[in-house]
Amino acid sequence: MSFFDNGPLPNWKEIQNWLGREIPWELVEKWDKKDDDAWLDRFIRNFMAPAESQTPEKMPAEKPVVQGDARKTVPSEISRSSKHVTVAFKLPNETDLKPVRLYATADRLRLTGLPGGRSETVLMPCRVYAKSGRAEWKQGRLVIRFRRRRTEKNEVELFIQA
């Protein structure tokens, strides 16, 4: 049973726009004249084979990376008090601090310029004031401290527009 036995053939110009030059279009025109779909069926199966080999069942089982996991590029510790959030990175010994850059938003901290061009992103446990961040080098660790943002407790009514 062929892929194309299930209904009318698609518009080739639409498919050509979707896939670009992936299909040998001169062969498609010859196929239209000969009415032989075996080559196209094989082509589509081969085209889809790489995607099928990456299905979740066939991918190697791997644990998700979490904070403190040994596979992370840079181990990090996050602590939270009533007024502050502190993030500490244990950088590799060969790290030169000059290219290291920190970028903060209200909900994440990104560390770039690590050895090998690597970078690390850490999600904050709560929202912080990004501009309040202060970074220090303490005892072989990069420690960044932020002021916590208060949680919004004011309830606001939202109206449904019809």
CATH 1.10.3720.10 fits 76-148, yes or no: no
Mean pLDDT of 143-158: 88
**Distance between CA 83 and CA 146 in Å, rounded?**
9
Collapsing DSSP states into helix, strand and coil, what is residue 112?
Answer: strand
Top mean pLDDT of 63-72, 126-135, 144-153 is at 126-135
Mean pLDDT of 75-81: 91
**Distance between CA 7 and CA 43 in Å, rounded?**
19
Domain ranges of the chain: 3-53, 76-148
Q: What is the pLDDT of residue 64?
A: 39
**Distance between CA 104 and CA 5 in Å, rounded?**
55
pLDDT over 70, % of the chain: 59
pLDDT at 133 over 90: yes
**Distance between CA 40 and CA 89 in Å, rounded?**
54
pTM beyond cutoff 0.85:
no
Q: What is the pLDDT of residue 108?
A: 94
Is the separation of the CB atoms in 135 and 159 below 8 Å? Answer: no
